[in-house]
Every structure is written in C-alpha cells, then in structure tokens.
Chains A and B, each alone.
Chain A
Amino acid sequence: DAGVIQSPRHEVTEMGQEVTLRCKPISGHDYLFWYRQTMMRGLELLIYFNNNVPIDDSGMPEDRFSAKMPNASFSTLKIQPSEPRDSAVYFCASSADSSGYTFGSGTRLTVV
C-alpha cells in the first residue's frame, strides 16, 4: 500500500487565489481527516469524514475553507480566497474504525 497520498507537496500562491489540496486515503479506511499544522497552534483538526460524509467541520476556520469527499478514494480541501495567514502544512490522514491514523506527507502551503 502506498499510504495516504497528498498533492501537491508544495504550493505557493498569491493572496486571493484559490487553492485546492488533494488527498487519496488508504484503501479500506473509512475515516478521513484534514489537519493544519503551524508552529503557533500545532496540529489542528479542520474536518473529518466517515464513509465519505462530513461528520464534524467545526475546526474549519472560515467560510473560505471547504472540503469534499466525492468518493472513498479522494478528498479535496479548498481555500478561496487564500490569505497569507493560511500558510501552513496541511495534512490528510485516514484510519479504519477506531485504529491509529496514517498521515500523508502533507502539503506545505505558502500564500504571499
């Protein structure tokens, strides 16, 4: 298994632009999580899905953030419009029911 696959690995964009981050979870994992990591706040849970259905999006910072999971093998996190304070590393993770997470390698987002 290739693990959780995220793309792109790095993204540099200008303020105001739309950013889309992508994630392919491990096959058979029915939970998918999006996290944001910064030095100031550490790992923050943004949203998670169970069987492709969003369960808790209370961690999504603003309406500029949205996430979708159209099928069991793909999820996106979109920021529109992006702002410099969105700069962070965004991780996707997946898990089978009540077992440990497997994280992807993350997308480092820089908004200038």
Chain B
Amino acid sequence: GESVGLHLPTLSVQEGDNSIINCAYSNSASDYFIWYKQESGKGPQFIIDIRSNMDKRQGQRVTVLLNKTVKHLSLQIAATQPGDSAVYFCAENIGGGSYIPTFGRGTSLIVHP
C-alpha cells in the first residue's frame, strides 16, 4: 500500500539555525497534510496543516511547503530553539470525507545550544 515516509531519521542543528524537515508521500489522492511534534513522554501535538489547494502556509516560526508535483512536504522552523527538540511527524489524509490520517515514521530533531 501507499505510505508516508521521511527522508531523514535524525536532524541535528545549532540553536538559532533554521531547520528543514522533509516528508515524501506517495498517494496522489492525499488532499490534507498535517505536521505533528512529539516531545519525550508526550503525545503528538498539532503544529500546522495544509490543504492540497495550497503550496505554502505559515505559522509562528514554522512554514509548511507542499510540492504536489513531486509529492513532497516540508516543515521549516525558523531560529530553532532547544525547545524545538522533538520527533516530528507528517501525516496525510487521502480525503473522501472523514479525516483518518496516515502517519510517517518521524524525524528526530536535536537542537544543540
């Protein structure tokens, strides 16, 4: 079956740098994408979402980019802080009404002070 995958399992950055976490999806029918952040000992938390009719969406210090041509999703974190250290998941929803996402394996972001 089709699945969501991540290019990099671990990303290490210095505090203050910008971080980019990538995600490849293979289901061209996916129409809604979400990024989640999971800190140690906690459940995943919603960060930002984007629908397939958009190619960019910005939040506070985070930007999600969607490239439907190559089925690629990225999460950009500006001025990365130690508190951003976590595992980041992308999730895709193939649409059709109910929102039942498929989660990728996750990328661990490590921010060095």
Interface of A with B (CB < 8 Å)?
A: 4, 31, 42-43, 45, 48, 50, 55-56, 91, 93, 95, 97-106
B100 touches A45 (CB 8 A): yes
Name B44's closest neighbour in chain A (CB-CB).
A103
Interface of B with A (CB < 8 Å)?
A: 34, 41-46, 49, 89, 97-101, 103-106
Residues of B within 8 A of A42 (CB): 89, 103-106
Choose from A4, A55, A97, A100 the contact partner of B46 (Cβ within 8 Å).
Answer: A100
Residues of B within 8 A of A91 (CB): 43-44
Given the complex of chains A and B, what is the CA–CA distance between A100 and B92 in angstroms? Answer: 11
B43 touches A93 (CB 8 A): yes
Choose from B46, B97, B106 the contact partner of A98 (Cβ within 8 Å).
Answer: B97
On whether A100 and B105 interact (CB within 8 A), knowing A43-B89, A56-B100, A95-B99, the answer reads: no
A100 touches B49 (CB 8 A): yes
Q: How many pairs of residues, A versus B, come closer than 8 Å at their CB atoms?
A: 45
A50 touches B105 (CB 8 A): no
A98 touches B98 (CB 8 A): yes
Residues of A within 8 A of B46 (CB): 100-102
B2 → chain A, closest Cβ, in Å?
15
Name B46's closest neighbour in chain A (CB-CB).
A100
By Cβ-Cβ distance, the 8 closest A-B pairs, closest first, are A103-B43, A43-B103, A100-B46, A42-B105, A98-B99, A103-B44, A91-B43, A106-B43
**11 A–B contacts, CB within 8 A, in A order:** A4-B43, A43-B103, A45-B100, A48-B100, A56-B100, A98-B97, A98-B99, A100-B34, A100-B49, A103-B44, A106-B42
